[in-house]
């Protein structure tokens, strides 16, 4: 049997469902999923198998108009992931249709080298009637020459397997890029930090989640098979520290419990998680924080 392997970049606007689709394809949670936009920062690669093919999903940050250094670095990472991939899948929300943001992405796709295979996946199909879907698919295919169009619901799974099978067939022939049992090429320290950041994002509201980051400072394997994980939560202001800690430490306790339980399920063993909140006024301008998130600090330059 001929093996195939390659990179699949999922691109689209923030909240289009890229992280949800990555997790569904991989069959495990490797990407942060929240109701907030712009939560994926680094290019998270989930590794999935389909027949003799190994699909490496690059879950890029959502494409949007960047304002700050972090935004610019995220958008650069998204287009970098698309340019490096064997196949690109553009995810569009069915109920939002062709927004200004989608038009900008289509313009960006037109500038990629010729011959790049791009598929269209219209997501959240349960939110609109079939005639609207067909009209949207026709409109988009007139704007760009997509190799194939798929109607899916990443959350419920409709159409996802059909997309996965098509991708498996279209990838270039070659040896697998990762061991069979590996589901992500992110270090576990970063996956652990992302899980905690997701819990903070879900718990907190407004702008604060974009003003904080989480780093795994220490990971200690214990003799009893458990792991001790120490994480730092960086916030930009003293006032933010109080919000993260919550009244009598209630917020940080709830976040720690939720993150620990998810880590234990993910790792299949006991985890001792310790969180500490530190104020670093300029963390958004620190090169080290970008490296930790897998982003290029230079891409954030205006």
Q: Which two tokens stand for residue 104?
A: 């900008």
Same structural domain, 49 and 164: yes
Same structural domain, 71 and 204: no
Same structural domain, 160 and 216: no
pTM for this entry: 0.60
Pick from 40, 62, 23, 2: nearest CA to 183: 23
pLDDT of residue 150: 96
pLDDT of residue 49: 87
Structural domain includes residue 36? yes
Same structural domain, 155 and 211: no
Structural domain includes residue 264? yes
Residue 238: CATH number of its domain: 3.30.300.20
pLDDT of residue 52: 93
pLDDT of residue 66: 53
| Phi-psi group of 155: left, alpha or beta (phi > 0 → left; psi -120 to 50 → alpha; rest → beta) | alpha
Pick from 88, 85, 41: nearest CA to 60: 41
pLDDT of residue 301: 56
Distance CA 69, CA 87 (A): 28
Pick from 138, 115, 172, 123: nearest CA to 10: 123
The widest CA-to-CA distance across the chain, in whole angstroms, is 61
Percent helix, percent strand, percent coil in the chain, to nearest 5: 40, 25, 35
Structural domain includes residue 248? yes
pLDDT of residue 87: 92
pLDDT of residue 32: 46
Structural domain includes residue 35? yes
Same structural domain, 19 and 156: yes
Q: Is 196 exposed, middle or buried (0-12, 13-18, 19+ CB in 10 A)?
A: buried
- Of the residues 170, 201, 232, which one is the last residue of a structural domain? 170
Structural domain includes residue 26? yes
- Distance between the two ends of the chain, CA-based, in angstroms? 49
Structural domain includes residue 182? no
> Which parts of the chain fold into alpha helices (H)?
18-26, 69-84, 100-110, 130-143, 160-170, 188-203, 238-245, 250-267, 287-292
Q: How many domains does the chain have?
A: 2
Same structural domain, 163 and 201: no
Same structural domain, 164 and 42: yes
pLDDT of residue 302: 45
Question: Each residue of 143-161: pLDDT tens digit?
Answer: 999 999 999 999 998 999 9
pLDDT of residue 70: 60
What residues in the chain have per-residue pLDDT under 50? 32-42, 207, 302
pLDDT of residue 273: 96
Structural domain includes residue 183? no
Same structural domain, 65 and 101: yes
Distance CA 234, CA 211 (A): 8
Question: Each residue of 68-101: pLDDT tens digit?
Answer: 666 566 656 655 656 678 899 999 999 999 988 8
Pick from 211, 271, 267, 219: nearest CA to 239: 211
- Of the residues 170, 197, 212, which one is the last residue of a structural domain? 170
Same structural domain, 203 and 240: yes
Please, which residues have CB within 8 angstroms of residue 64's CB and are 6 or more apart in sequence? Answer: 13, 14, 37, 38, 71, 75, 101
Same structural domain, 144 and 206: no
- Of the residues 142, 170, 198, which one is the last residue of a structural domain? 170
Distance CA 214, CA 216 (A): 7
Same structural domain, 226 and 294: yes
Same structural domain, 95 and 192: no
What is the sign of the dihedral through the CA atoms of 183, 185, 188 and 192?
negative
pLDDT of residue 274: 96
What range does the domain containing 130 cover?
Answer: 4-170
Residue 32: CATH number of its domain: 3.40.50.300
Structural domain includes residue 192? yes
């Amino acid at each position: 049997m001929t093996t195939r392997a390659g990179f699949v970049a999922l691109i689209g606007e923030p909240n289009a469902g890229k992280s949800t689709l990555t997790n569904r394809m991989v069959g495990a949670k490797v990407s942060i999923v929240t109701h907030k936009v712009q939560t994926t920062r680094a290019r998270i690669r989930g590794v999935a198998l389909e027949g003799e093919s190994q699909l490496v999903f690059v879950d890029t940050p959502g494409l949007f108009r960047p304002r700050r250094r972090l935004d610019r670095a995220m958008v650069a990472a998204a287009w970098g992931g698309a340019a490096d991939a064997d196949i690109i899948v553009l995810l569009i929300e069915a109920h939002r249709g062709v927004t200004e943001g989608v038009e900008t992405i289509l313009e960006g796709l037109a500038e990629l080298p010729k011959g790049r295979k791009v598929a269209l996946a219209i997501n959240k199909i349960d939110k609109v009637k079939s005639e609207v879907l067909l009209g949207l698919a026709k409109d988009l295919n007139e704007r760009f020459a997509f190799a194939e169009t798929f109607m899916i619901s990443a959350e419920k799974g409709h159409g996802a397997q059909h997309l996965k099978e098509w991708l498996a067939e279209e990838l270039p022939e070659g040896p697998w890029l990762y061991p069979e049992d590996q589901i992500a090429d992110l270090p576990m320290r970063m996956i652990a930090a992302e899980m905690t950041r997701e819990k903070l994002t879900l718990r907190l509201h407004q702008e604060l989640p974009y003003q904080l980051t989480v780093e795994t400072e220490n990971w200690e394997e214990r003799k009893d098979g458990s792991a001790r994980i120490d994480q730092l939560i960086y916030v930009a202001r003293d006032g933010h520290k109080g919000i993260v800690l919550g009244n009598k430490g209630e917020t940080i306790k709830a976040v720690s419990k939720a993150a620990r339980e998810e880590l234990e399920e993910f790792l299949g063993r006991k985890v001792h998680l310790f969180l500490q909140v530190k104020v670093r006024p300029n963390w958004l301008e620190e090169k080290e924080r970008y490296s930790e998130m897998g982003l290029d600090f230079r891409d954030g330059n205006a």
